[in-house]
Structure 1
Amino acid sequence: MSESRSERALILAPLGRDSQIALMILEEAGFPGLICQHLGHLCDELEQGAGLLVIASEALLGPGLEVLLQLIEQQPAWSDLPIVLLTHHGGPEQTPEARLGAQLGNVTFLERPFHPVTLVSLVTTALRGRRRQYEARDRLIDLSNSEQRLQTILETLEQQVQERTAQLRHNEEALRQSQKMEAVGQLTGGIAHDFNNMLTGIIGSLELLRRRLARGRTEDLDSLIDLGVTSANRAAGLTHRLLAFSRRQSLDSKAVQMNTLVLSMGELLQRSLNESIRLDMQLDDQLWIAEADPNQLESALLNLVLNARDAMPDGGTLVIRTSNQHLDADFTDAYSNLKPGDYVALSVQDTGCGMPEAIVHRAFDPFFTTKPIGQGTGLGLSMIYGFSKQSHGHVTMDSEVNRGTTVNLYLPRFIGEPVSEPVIDTQHMPHAQAGETVLIVEDDPAVRVLVSTVLGELGYAFLEAGDADGALPILQSKRRIDLMVSDVGLPGMNGRQLAEIGRQLRPDLRVLFITGYAEHAAVRGGFLDPGMQMITKPFTFELLTAKVREMIRT
């Protein structure tokens, strides 16, 4: 819009010489103006730009008023077009058409005949206000341009941040990969050292047994057998710790009287400590019942006690404490799998050397250990961490150098009535009754042969299959099957799926699962139906035959 148009006066006074007089006065005062012939002409010119309007009141009665009102209504936010409305003698309140002034907005009334000085004064004031509106418009434009420039800068910064973030993520991934490889190296060194020792014990004892039997020497074989079994059990314990920290072990969660469990381990714990370490048990008399796998809880407690012992080479005090704890949302919200509620806490506190904060932050990391390679795999605390998380609990550690360490294990409070389990006599198991038949489904030939041999020695008839495809025809047949013993991790169809089909064919089929590792069998309560039980590899044949006898006879 040109400057002349932006400040011109559009004049509409169709009767008499008011238009010519007004234009002459304004031009003599130095203001540009234009006479319009009717409202339509005025509206057309207004769209091209104007500083103000000078309109006779009678002109508002002509056609085009709605268009003018619409233009005034659609003004931008910065604009408030000034209008000088020429009224008849007697004032605007006595002129009906002048009442439209309220609809026109920024209106000043000028009674005719008007004095030239009055008109010039009104126009000067109106244009001064109009110029301020233009200044506001220009500032808005400058602000908009600044916002656009700022937006461009922000977009550039955002792109730079994204590029920098991508670079940092790449660096972080590279660091994580490096730490992962370092952790794998630590794991490899620790496990290779431990497993080589265990395999040496197993292979060496078997080799000595073979040599002695070949020479007809049968004396003192029990010590060699015990050596091999001890080494094998140590290897089994190591694999259990590996599964524990990865939260893939098979848990048999149930109601646990934690005080009773701790007291029952008292003698073992005392023997594990040096004479210079005093054991102090502070057990809550009103302790709630916890929900956990008692075997894994025993292992966790023993691990914590051994760590505390190693932290006190010069002696000290070890406190085992139980307590009831309510964890509210302020605490649990920081952990994804932890819910507010009641928990039973087991604390192990020592007065040993303690650890700096940097070590505490990594203490539960898998494979992390401060011991030299070969003296620890770094799986003890990570096993406890995995066990706590898989049990829907939590574990914390507080430590101060030269002051000692406290580890708190939180397990959920058991809700419901505890179910007492029958005690199984594994020492004097009766032989099978005539005709009792077990279907053995196991893909490992060595395990399958050993299971079938030990059941055969007890008088059981047995049927064998290496996978589900081999077992299905047997289940579909008319042969007697009192119990199916199946590995969970079969190739193809797994053992749990096979059991489902088996129960469709034989609704009363009892199933004993044996598993070394099965991800979906990690929590037994959600995996086993009534008439199903599970034992974990490696198992003793006393436990296997006891379970077989128990399930067939119940």
Structure 2
Amino acid sequence: MTPTTEFSERALVLAPHGRDSQLATRMLEEAGFNSQVSPHLAALCETLEQGAGLLIIAVEALHGIDPEPLLRHLERQPAWSDLPIILLTLHGAKQPHPSARLSTPLGNVSFLERPFHPTTLISLVSTALRGRRRQYEARDRLIDLSQSELRLQRTLETLEQQVEERTAQLRHNEEALRQSQKMEAVGQLTGGIAHDFNNMLTGIIGSLELLRRRVARGRTEDLDSLIDLGVTSANRAAGLTHRLLAFSRRQSLDPKPVRMNDLVSAMGELLQRSLSESIQLQMRLSQKLWVAEADPNQLESALLNLVLNARDAMPNGGRLLVETLNQPLDRDFCAAHDNLEPGDYVVLRVSDNGCGMSEAIIHRVFDPFFTTKPIGQGTGLGLSMIYGFSKQSRGHVTLNSSPGRGTEASLYLPRFRGDLVPDAPPLEQRSASAKKGETVLIVEDDPAVRVLVGAVLEELGYSFLEATDARSAMPLLDSGQRIDLLISDVGLPGMNGRQLAEIGRQIRPGLKVLFITGYAEHAAARGGFLEPGMQLITKPFTFDLLTAKVQEMIGD
């Protein structure tokens, strides 16, 4: 069945109970979309034969009826077609049985909880129709390719020339398809970022607006709750950027020897508190475990994400097993996975006996912002962060799962081969005030960050100098001015912070440098970026961390 142009983008609405169909069609009409209401499933299927851009179905419309006519229609779709379907669910209720049972055979399904905002509906419809248009474009390309093949067969006398032309055309089509896939991935990524960041910015901006209003009116009571709300939203935004950098393998890692059994045991109480009472947590830790090499903070975050995913897969309770083991990997295994070298690895494995996943879902679970959870209950960045962390750590992560049989996630990290150094004793706390004359040079192109860092130093009693870039910082470094510490952003315009530090140390041997960075590709591996007397903290950082680093470095 090939839809006509007139019906190719219309929305067919099946919501026979209440006013959902009226509300939906009115919202669609105001947004400029064509729609048609069907009184029952049979009428919907009959109308669908003429063509449609998407279906909007209330889940209760599927109760007590035979969905086979709709399923037959979907099965008869040509290879290029994957009809989008929006299922309207009820607020606060568990997902109805028919929608849960039919979500897989229905195929391209999105869920929208009622009552819904017009913007949310229109956004889902717009996204679905954009995808539908790409399907029509794919159909047209298939038709064009078929016609090209026929012409090729009819011109055998110029076969060599036509083969060359056809090869060039196929290469062009392949590149166009690859570019389309890249843009689709970018669209999914930016859409997810915009959705999550807008929520977080609402919390930050709203808190600041309320603070301003209350202070202007002289109401100073209960301001802490507004401040806490803004800080919480800001920390969530910081966590999102860290997860994105982890997925793209651009986060700043600090790899160290890690005794994984000690790390897992220390997190035992936190993991237990994160689970419901109906889930039994078990630990099986290898007694002769090798020492792993990884960033311990990121490893803790990865373990917590794996446990939370396992918890969500067991809504009715079950068993969750965290285990560690040694695993040599041979060349055959490593050849099938990029960025992986044969050798010894330490494995952190999290297993559950929950609902499991289909093979189709497993192929997408590491995609950023892909999630099987309802809207608002998951960002889709947890597993993608673990994937990026494992690859950046020269390791690997695997998932084994099947529906109804649970999931086993295994994180492979390389074995540490160096000499183990005893942990350094904790540094003695310095006094909160600086010694007379101690001076810090701040080099930061963002004026807001520069002002805040300067305010912290001023509270501590340090004198400080400011520069917006390396060029304006060079005369200060080359002067007779006392400078005890250089605080520099890595990503400066022109000469970067690392290059500035190198020149600064030629002028002032032994100059201590504290780098601050939101993202710098070459700072991702700290071991090859930092020299003795250099440290790095990532934005956004707490003032307590900045204070501790400044006092530690100047006091050394």
TM-score (norm 2): 0.68
Q: CA deviation at 1:163?
A: 5.5
Map 1:16-31; keep pairs closer than 5 Å. none
Map 1:98-117; keep pairs closer than 5 Å. none
User: Which of 490, 498, 501 matches 1:499?
Assistant: 501
Q: CA deviation at 1:316?
A: 1.3
Q: Is the 8 A contact 1:348 1:407 kept in 2?
A: yes
Q: CA deviation at 1:461?
A: 0.6
Q: For 1:379 and 1:306, locate their aligned partners in 2 and report how far apart those are by CA, in whole Å.
A: 13
Q: Look up the match of 1:403.
A: 405
Q: For 1:446 and 1:504, locate their aligned partners in 2 and report how far apart those are by CA, in whole Å.
A: 30
Q: Matched residue of 2:363: which SS?
A: helix
Q: For 1:463 and 1:383, locate their aligned partners in 2 and report how far apart those are by CA, in whole Å.
A: 38
Q: Look up the match of 2:441.
A: 439
Describe the shift of the 1:479–1:204 C-alpha distance in structure 2 as closer, same or farther (beyond 3 A): same
Q: For 2:291 and 2:321, locate their aligned partners in 1 and report how far apart those are by CA, in whole Å.
A: 21
Q: CA deviation at 1:550?
A: 0.6
Map 1:379-394; keep pairs closer than 5 Å. 379-394=381-396
Q: Look up the match of 1:242.
A: 244
For 2:269, the aligned partner's letter is E
Q: CA deviation at 1:477?
A: 0.2
For 1:321, the aligned partner's letter is E
Q: Look up the match of 2:476.
A: 474
Q: CA deviation at 1:274?
A: 2.0
Describe the shift of the 1:358–1:431 C-alpha distance in structure 2 as closer, same or farther (beyond 3 A): same
Q: CA deviation at 1:404?
A: 0.9
Q: CA deviation at 1:230?
A: 1.0
Q: Look up the match of 1:320.
A: 322
Q: CA deviation at 1:158?
A: 8.1
Q: Which ranges in structure 1 are unaligned for 5 or more consecutive residues?
A: 1-153
For 1:294, the aligned partner's letter is P
- Range 379-388 or range 243-252, more displaced: 379-388
User: Which of 317, 341, 344 matches 1:342?
Assistant: 344
Q: Matched residue of 2:290: which SS?
A: coil
User: Which of 523, 537, 540 matches 1:538?
Assistant: 540
Q: CA deviation at 1:511?
A: 0.3
Q: Look up the match of 2:39.
A: none
Describe the shift of the 1:372–1:252 C-alpha distance in structure 2 as closer, same or farther (beyond 3 A): same
Q: Which ranges in structure 2 are unaligned for 5 or more consecutive residues?
A: 1-155
Q: For 1:280 and 1:427, locate their aligned partners in 2 and report how far apart those are by CA, in whole Å.
A: 39
Q: Matched residue of 1:362: which SS?
A: coil
For 2:205, the aligned partner's letter is I
Q: Look up the match of 1:510.
A: 512
Q: Look up the match of 2:287.
A: 285
Map 1:288-307; keep pairs closer than 5 Å. 288-307=290-309
Q: Is the 8 A contact 1:311 1:352 kept in 2?
A: yes
Q: For 2:212 and 2:428, locate their aligned partners in 1 and report how far apart those are by CA, in whole Å.
A: 29
Describe the shift of the 1:499–1:428 C-alpha distance in structure 2 as closer, same or farther (beyond 3 A): closer
Describe the shift of the 1:357–1:505 C-alpha distance in structure 2 as closer, same or farther (beyond 3 A): same
Q: Is the 8 A contact 1:427 1:542 kept in 2?
A: no
Q: For 2:506 and 2:430, locate their aligned partners in 1 and report how far apart those are by CA, in whole Å.
A: 35
For 1:384, the aligned partner's letter is I
Which protein has the larger Cα radius of gyration, Structure 1 or Structure 2?
1
Q: Look up the match of 1:188.
A: 190
Q: CA deviation at 1:366?
A: 3.1
Describe the shift of the 1:387–1:155 C-alpha distance in structure 2 as closer, same or farther (beyond 3 A): farther
TM-score (norm 1): 0.69
Q: For 2:497 and 2:175, locate their aligned partners in 1 and report how far apart those are by CA, in whole Å.
A: 38
Q: Look up the match of 1:276.
A: 278
Of all paired residues, the percent bearing the same amino acid is 79
Deviations 1:511-543 (A, max 9, x none): 000000000111000000111000010000110
Deviations 1:240-260 (A, max 9, x none): 011010001110111111111
Aligned residues: 402
* 1:448 equivalent in alignment to 2:450: yes
Q: For 2:428 and 2:297, locate their aligned partners in 1 and report how far apart those are by CA, in whole Å.
A: 18
- Range 204-213 or range 309-318, more displaced: 204-213
Q: For 1:156 and 1:262, locate their aligned partners in 2 and report how far apart those are by CA, in whole Å.
A: 69
Q: Look up the match of 2:31.
A: none
Deviations 1:203-235 (A, max 9, x none): 122222222222333332222221111111100
What is the RMSD of the two structures over their aligned residues, measured on CA atoms? 2.4
Describe the shift of the 1:525–1:378 C-alpha distance in structure 2 as closer, same or farther (beyond 3 A): same
Q: Is the 8 A contact 2:430 2:551 kept in 1?
A: no
Q: Is the 8 A contact 1:476 1:505 kept in 2?
A: yes
Describe the shift of the 1:171–1:212 C-alpha distance in structure 2 as closer, same or farther (beyond 3 A): same
For 1:512, the aligned partner's letter is L
Q: CA deviation at 1:166?
A: 4.6
Deviations 1:351-370 (A, max 9, x none): 11111112212222334333
Q: For 2:164 and 2:179, locate their aligned partners in 1 and report how far apart those are by CA, in whole Å.
A: 22
Describe the shift of the 1:429–1:394 C-alpha distance in structure 2 as closer, same or farther (beyond 3 A): farther
